[in-house]
Structure 1
Amino acid sequence: METIQAQIVIASDLQARRISAAENMQREDLSAIETIEAIVEIVDAELIEDKEYASMGKNSADRVRVLLGKLKASRRGKERGYNPSRELIHTAHKFMRRVDQIFKNLPKPVEWLSFLNNDLPLLMDICKEVQDISIQHNLNRSQTRALAKLNAVSESEFQRIVNPQPSSQKIEPSSDNQPSANRALSDFSATEIEAIANKEIQKEALAEQGRSRVMPHLSSEVKILLL
């Protein structure tokens, strides 16, 4: 019978949370959204015992965003030559070094300011439906941003590429020379998804111009009828 070596670790709930978060971060199959969630979990687990940090939000993502936002404001103030508030100075003095160290020690290190500006918005500002689809199809950050934009401007085009028709069915070419939808979502580049969204925006702008031209004409006809 084969023997498998195992390491038994006695850990508190918080220690177990930290170990689990670090192990999850090292998975190779993480989607962009899952990677961001893992980083948030690591940061929150490292800082949650601090009462001041714990009071910054009701959930881990809110707390991380608030803290990083304060650190950003403090850094920006110094760079622009004005003195930050006492609260920001206190927060920066207390947390800046710890946050820098946490992000440097990640399995895949990232600069915390870049995480705040470029990554965290995908978790905080994009709807749950797009996040779930991003995870399901293992989309990268750029694809996820483009998909969120498409979802905001055209539900029909969003569904067209998210729910492709079975290959056994005859696929009619899409309008405006847009990419055929009988492809896996992950095969669409961010540029292609962005192009579809931009075309929908242009179509809506043209339609709005058309409506604007029609309205004055209708107003004139109404005036004539009233006379």
Structure 2
Amino acid sequence: MLVLETGERRFRAVRDFTEMETIQAQIVIASDLQARRISAAENLQREDLSAIETIEAIVEIVDAELIEDKEYASMGKNSADRVRVLLGKLKASRRGKERGYNPSRELIHTAHKFMRRVDQIFKNLPKPVEWLSFLNNDLPLLMDICKEVQDISIQHNLNKSQTRALAKLNAVSESEFQRIVNPQPSSQKIEPSSDNHPSANRALSDFSVTEIEAIANKEIQKEVLAEQERSRIMPHLSSEVKIFLLDSLGIPDERIAERLKIN
């Protein structure tokens, strides 16, 4: 069975926009794993990849190269988990040696078995990257940021710093997050704000990291001031009134219980 493994967009462009009846192709006899490796490598070379898609592509390449190893395959249920666990063990082994103490036998074994292979995989990427930098700076965008922010990052082709800032904003203020992600159309000319609160009637990719973080920090400051005001007023109120006020502000029940020391 013939499967179009790479070049699908080029194939569609020729088919839909030209009169060519044939195109040059390379037929390769490959196993499912070999086809996966070919597809992963081809995908990473696309010019329009967003930061999140680039990280996903690197994870796919690493996982495809190592998945035949049973020890590696047991490190997680999906490719991202397996890559993070392996790189985390390699990092722990390297850090132990740098700090002058002996890593565990397991870490020594893992480093001896995988370190050279991992180094080679990352060096052979179209744009080589240090695996430790990938673990510390790139992989968290895929593992620790919610799917909604990841999808928006891909949709708007945001870079890594913009994606981190957007995740921070989403964590501190859902309303401000939605304000810049889903701007409301306006027929009036919007003038730049003088209070470090940029107009949201712009493409999300046009927001700088500084602007997004300024919005997030302003929301954090507002919450701090509101918290101080609540603390000032609360001692004079009964527990029932405190619970009612906190609940009306949308504060989750577990936070109310913690704040008022209610079991």
TM-score, normalised to structure 2, is 0.80
Structure 1 pair 197/226, CA: closer, same or farther in 2 (3 Å)? closer
Structure 1 pair 174/155, CA: closer, same or farther in 2 (3 Å)? farther
Contact 2:122–2:130 (8 Å) recurs in 1: yes
Structure 1 pair 90/183, CA: closer, same or farther in 2 (3 Å)? same
Deviations 1:83-111 (A, max 9, x none): 00000000000000000000000011100
Partner of 2:12: none
**Which has the larger displacement, 174-183 or 45-54?**
174-183
> 1:190 Cα shift?
1.1
Contact 2:183–2:202 (8 Å) recurs in 1: yes
Cα root mean square deviation, aligned: 3.7
Any unmatched runs of 5+ in structure 2?
1-19, 247-263
Aligned residue for 2:164, secondary structure, equals helix
> 1:140 Cα shift?
0.3
> 1:226 Cα shift?
21
Inter-partner Cα distance in structure 1 for 2:22 and 2:240: 90
Contact 1:165–1:171 (8 Å) recurs in 2: no
Contact 2:62–2:83 (8 Å) recurs in 1: yes
> 1:191 Cα shift?
1.2
Aligned residue for 1:176, secondary structure, equals coil
Structure 1 pair 224/192, CA: closer, same or farther in 2 (3 Å)? closer
Contact 1:160–1:181 (8 Å) recurs in 2: yes
Deviations 1:94-144 (A, max 9, x none): 000000000000011100000000000000000000000000000000000
Structure 1 pair 94/224, CA: closer, same or farther in 2 (3 Å)? closer
Structure 1 pair 49/225, CA: closer, same or farther in 2 (3 Å)? closer
> 1:167 Cα shift?
4.0
Deviations 1:1-60 (A, max 9, x none): 775322111111000000000000000100000000000000000000000000000000
Give the fraction of aligned pairs with identical amino acids, expressed as a percent: 96
Partner of 1:226: 245
The 5 Å alignment of 1:153-192 reads 153-168=172-187, 176-192=195-211
> 1:184 Cα shift?
0.5
Match of 1:84 among 103, 111, 129: 103
Deviations 1:137-163 (A, max 9, x none): 000000000000000000000000000
Any unmatched runs of 5+ in structure 1?
none
Structure 1 pair 14/214, CA: closer, same or farther in 2 (3 Å)? same
Contact 1:164–1:181 (8 Å) recurs in 2: yes
Inter-partner Cα distance in structure 2 for 1:6 and 1:41: 24
**Which has the larger displacement, 169-178 or 135-144?**
169-178
Structure 1 pair 96/213, CA: closer, same or farther in 2 (3 Å)? same
Contact 1:103–1:112 (8 Å) recurs in 2: yes
> 1:174 Cα shift?
6.8
> 1:224 Cα shift?
20
Contact 2:196–2:215 (8 Å) recurs in 1: no
**Which has the larger displacement, 184-193 or 2-11?**
2-11
Structure 1 pair 90/217, CA: closer, same or farther in 2 (3 Å)? same
Aligned residue for 2:68, secondary structure, equals coil
> 1:65 Cα shift?
0.2
Inter-partner Cα distance in structure 1 for 2:47 and 2:41: 13
Deviations 1:150-206 (A, max 9, x none): 000000000000001124367698794400010010000111101100110001001
Q: What is the aligned length?
A: 227
TM-score, normalised to structure 1, is 0.92
Structure 1 pair 165/172, CA: closer, same or farther in 2 (3 Å)? farther
Contact 2:40–2:61 (8 Å) recurs in 1: yes
Contact 2:196–2:214 (8 Å) recurs in 1: no
**Which has the larger displacement, 129-138 or 211-220?**
211-220
Structure 1 pair 52/218, CA: closer, same or farther in 2 (3 Å)? same
